[in-house]
A and B are shown apart, each in its own frame.
Chain A
Amino acid sequence: MCLGLPAKVVSIDGNSGNVEMMGVTNKVSIELLDDVQVGDYVLVHAGCAIQVLDEEEALRTIDIFNEIKELGIK
């Protein structure tokens, strides 16, 4: 039940935003977040965006996986 799905913010109108999730556009509340921008990826749960995805941190995690792929792990 605590499942959250990543979605891209395509427009913002006051306290709500239109997000694109798996090819479908939905209206969600963005009241629980500060400073959401169009183009951000947010985690949506129960009709509400609850966190912004940190792109830098996402890329850092992917870098770790790429290292494992290149070098192997002990």
Chain B
Amino acid sequence: MRNYIDEFRDSEVISKIVQSLQGYSGPRLKIMEVCGTHTMAISRYGLRSLLPPQIELISGPGCPVCVTSTSYIDSATELADNKNVIITTFGDMMRIPGNNSTLIHKKAQGSNVQMVYSPLNAVELARENPDKEVVFLSVGFETTTPVIALSVSKAKSEGIKNYSVLTANKTMPEAIKTLAGDKELLIDGFLYPGHVSAIIGTDFFNYVAYNMQKPGVVAGFEPLDILYSIKVLIDNITNGKIILENMYSRIVSKEGNVKAQQKMYEVFEPVDSVWRGMGMIPKSGLGLVKNYEMFDTAKKFDIKQKDTPEPKGCLCGEVLKGKKRPLDCKLFKKRCTPENPVGSCMVSSEGTCAAYYKYGG
């Protein structure tokens, strides 16, 4: 087995593909990348600037931290005040502003908030701290949720009762259906998230191509993966081929990771979910099934998430739907910066505003 990095960054191939893309002379095309990691890579390698002006890349709601509602952050920061609770979370959740505070402020004020690399580490922490309730902030798409499911089933099988998850997990299909059917947005094609696809497989994206008449490409994350996927998508659109192409077949199969899907649906079931900027999308989230409800933080602490407004003047919602660009927001680079973010898209390194801030469009 080789180290493939060099092959996927070969400058000679990149320049040939860019040359070919530059030769595009068809109608204006709007392509949405749905994954936050793609958004980051596109900005980091300056790929947008390599495309001709007729090809517009717009960023979708593919950063799980960014689409988490303000009310969820409020619930988490309120819970952090409880001295019997240890909050565990992925790092990029720490700085998202709620209405009153952030988790990092709570930590500075003495709350027990800990960053973990994996939810499995949070279960370990629960085992080591039997007198505390260890809460994991359960956000993520299909890439992450099976690992969270694993942590919950592990806690159950090991009889660990002081572990729970505050769920805001989301699934991609219903959100993509909403965007594909949006009459204002009129997307010509999708660049699909490679690692979500590694779990769910390619069938759903095939459905969007054939039933909703929106072509797409499942793409990897190296510069060549992204550029070549864009080229394949544009060639297909130009030739009237409304199909799904899997350009990340080294990781993504048709059926996906069936074992991970089974674990995810052993522990979770579809529920309605609120997406920042997109509102409530039926059956687009995941909540714990009855058999695992003893691990539901919301039930343990009787938490009811309120409907709280988004920060005034913040365009995150429109940016997440691909309807506005960060540069259209009056707060961008002025009142809203990575050091002092107003909205969630400026917080996570995978957020559209943070990527534009750091690397430019």
Please state if B143 and A2 are interface contacts (CB–CB under 8 Å): yes
Please state if A2 and B37 are interface contacts (CB–CB under 8 Å): yes
Which listed residue, A2, A60, A68, A72, touches B36 by the CB 8 Å rule? A2
B350 contact set on A, CB distance < 8 A: 1, 3
- Complex Cα spacing A53 to B198, Å: 10
Please state if B13 and A32 are interface contacts (CB–CB under 8 Å): no
A62 contact set on B, CB distance < 8 A: 4, 7-8
B13 contact set on A, CB distance < 8 A: 65, 68-69
Please state if B251 and A2 are interface contacts (CB–CB under 8 Å): no
Which listed residue, B10, B121, B257, touches A32 by the CB 8 Å rule? B257
- Complex Cα spacing A55 to B3, Å: 11
Q: Given A51-B257, A72-B16, check contact A2 B141 (CB 8 Å).
A: yes
For residue B248, give the distance in angstroms from its CB to the closest CB of chain A.
8
B252 contact set on A, CB distance < 8 A: 51
Please state if A43 and B251 are interface contacts (CB–CB under 8 Å): yes
- A28-54: which have CB < 8 Å to B? 29, 31-34, 39, 41, 43, 45-48, 50-51, 53-54
Which listed residue, B63, B250, B348, touches A57 by the CB 8 Å rule? B250
Please state if A29 and B64 are interface contacts (CB–CB under 8 Å): no
Any chain B CB within 8 A of the CB of A25?
Answer: no
- Complex Cα spacing A53 to B4, Å: 11
B108 contact set on A, CB distance < 8 A: none
Any chain B CB within 8 A of the CB of A73?
Answer: yes
Please state if B1 and A39 are interface contacts (CB–CB under 8 Å): yes
Nearest B residue to A64 via CB reads B228
Any chain A CB within 8 A of the CB of B224?
Answer: yes
Please state if A2 and B92 are interface contacts (CB–CB under 8 Å): no
Q: Is the interface of A mostly helix, strand, loop or mixed?
A: mixed
- B1-39: which have CB < 8 Å to A? 1, 4, 7-8, 10, 12-13, 16-17, 20, 35-37
Q: Given A1-B92, A74-B20, check contact A50 B1 (CB 8 Å).
A: no
Q: Given A1-B90, A2-B64, check contact A69 B195 (CB 8 Å).
A: no
Which listed residue, A48, A58, A74, touches B250 by the CB 8 Å rule? A58
Any chain B CB within 8 A of the CB of A61?
Answer: yes
For residue A36, give the distance in angstroms from its CB to the closest CB of chain B.
11
Please state if B118 and A54 are interface contacts (CB–CB under 8 Å): no
Query: How many interface residues does B have (CB within 8 Å)?
Result: 53
Nearest A residue to B38 via CB reads A2
For chains A and B in complex, what number of residue pairs have CB atoms within 8 angstroms? 130
A72 contact set on B, CB distance < 8 A: 16
Nearest A residue to B262 via CB reads A32
Any chain A CB within 8 A of the CB of B259?
Answer: yes
Please state if A1 and B65 are interface contacts (CB–CB under 8 Å): yes
Q: Which of A46, A54, A57, A69 has the most CB atoms of chain B within a 10 A radius of its CB?
A: A46
- B105-157: which have CB < 8 Å to A? 117-121, 139-141, 143-144, 146-147, 150
Please state if A54 and B263 are interface contacts (CB–CB under 8 Å): no
- Complex Cα spacing A32 to B120, Å: 13
Which listed residue, B8, B121, B193, touches A47 by the CB 8 Å rule? B121
Any chain A CB within 8 A of the CB of B320?
Answer: no
Any chain A CB within 8 A of the CB of B355?
Answer: no
Please state if B16 and A2 are interface contacts (CB–CB under 8 Å): no
For residue A47, give the distance in angstroms from its CB to the closest CB of chain B.
3
For residue A50, give the distance in angstroms from its CB to the closest CB of chain B.
6
Which listed residue, B64, B119, B139, B250, touches A61 by the CB 8 Å rule? B250
- Complex Cα spacing A32 to B16, Å: 39
Any chain A CB within 8 A of the CB of B260?
Answer: yes
B193 contact set on A, CB distance < 8 A: 2
Instruction: Name 27 interchain pairs, CB-CB below 8 A, sorted by A.
Output: A1-B36, A1-B348, A2-B37, A2-B144, A3-B221, A3-B350, A8-B1, A32-B257, A32-B260, A33-B257, A41-B1, A43-B251, A45-B147, A47-B118, A50-B195, A53-B250, A54-B249, A55-B1, A55-B250, A58-B250, A61-B249, A61-B250, A65-B8, A68-B13, A68-B16, A69-B10, A73-B17
